[in-house]
Amino acid sequence: ESTEKSLVLVKPDGYRRGLSGEVLRRIEAKGYVPVALAVVTPTHEQLAEHYAEHEGKPFYEPLIEFMSSGPVTAIVIQGERCIEGFRALAGATDPTAALPGTIRGDLGRDWGLKVQQNIVHGSDSPESAAREIGIWFPNL
Ligand code: DAT
Ligand code: MG
């Protein structure tokens, strides 16, 4: 199959809370197919690449610190329009504002102004997806 792919991360907060399975369940229930999956403790170097677009922003350093605080579950998903579709499943960036029914809305909350602790990452465009899949799954 040659349909669209997206890179999903269950972030350290989600992994720590045992939510990798719940995220994967929602992905599969939607009909997207996991084609690669790995538990990885990200390096600063890897995260600097992944979040290059945010370098210099006020939340950049705390974001990198948080993302390197423990293992993440990295998943490549596949399916027509899965980039847009997973972003819809994930919900708004701020887990307090994210609508119920979404991953962030149902499972996330604010723990002391730490908007970065929002359970999941999902690629936001075909270009980001290709770039990010290369960072997390260099052999794919
Ligand atoms: P998204 O993950 O919804 O694509 P983004 O790409 O704008 O959001 O930001 C990447 C991550 O950085 C996001 O998941 C959480 C964190 N972040 C974004 N905006 C933030 C803010 N204003 N304060 C703290 N963390 C923020
Ligand atoms: Mg983003």
Clarify whether 44 is annotated catalytic: no
Q: 78-117: per-residue pLDDT in tens?
A: 999 999 999 999 999 999 999 999 999 999 998 886 667 9
**Number of residues assigned to the chain:** 140
Query: Which ligand 1 atom is nearest residue 90's CA?
Result: 3
Instruction: List ligand 1's pocket residues with C-beta within 6 A.
Output: 54, 59, 63, 93, 115-116, 118, 121, 124
Ligand nearest the Cα atom of residue 93:
1
pLDDT of residue 111: 85
Query: Is pLDDT larger for residue 140 or for residue 88?
Result: 88
Query: Which ligand 1 atom is nearest residue 94's CA?
Result: 15
| 104 has binding-site annotation | yes
| 114 has binding-site annotation | no
- Compute, in angstroms, the gap from residue 121 CA to the centroid of ligand 1: 9
Residue from 13, 93, 107 to probe ligand 1 pocket by mutation (most atoms less than 8 Å from CB): 93
Using N-to-C axis directions, what is the helix angle for 82-90 and 20-30, rounded to 10°? Answer: 130
Q: 17-71: per-residue pLDDT in tens?
A: 999 999 999 999 999 999 999 999 999 999 999 999 999 999 999 999 999 999 9
pLDDT of residue 113: 63
Long-range contacts at 87-92 (CB < 8 A, ≥ 24 apart): 87/122, 87/124, 89/26, 89/27, 89/30, 89/122, 90/119, 90/120, 90/122
pLDDT of residue 112: 80
Both tokens assigned to 65: 């610190």
> In sequence order, which ranges of the chain are alpha helices (DSSP H)?
12-16, 20-30, 44-50, 60-67, 82-90, 103-107, 126-136
ipTM (interface pTM): 0.97
The domain segmentation of the chain, as residue ranges, is 5-136
Q: Which residues pair with 36 in a beta bridge?
A: 76
Q: Residues 2-27: what's their mean pLDDT?
A: 97
pTM, rounded to two decimals:
0.96
Both tokens assigned to 28: 């599969």
CATH topology of domain 5-136: Alpha-Beta Plaits (3.30.70)
Both tokens assigned to 60: 């950049």
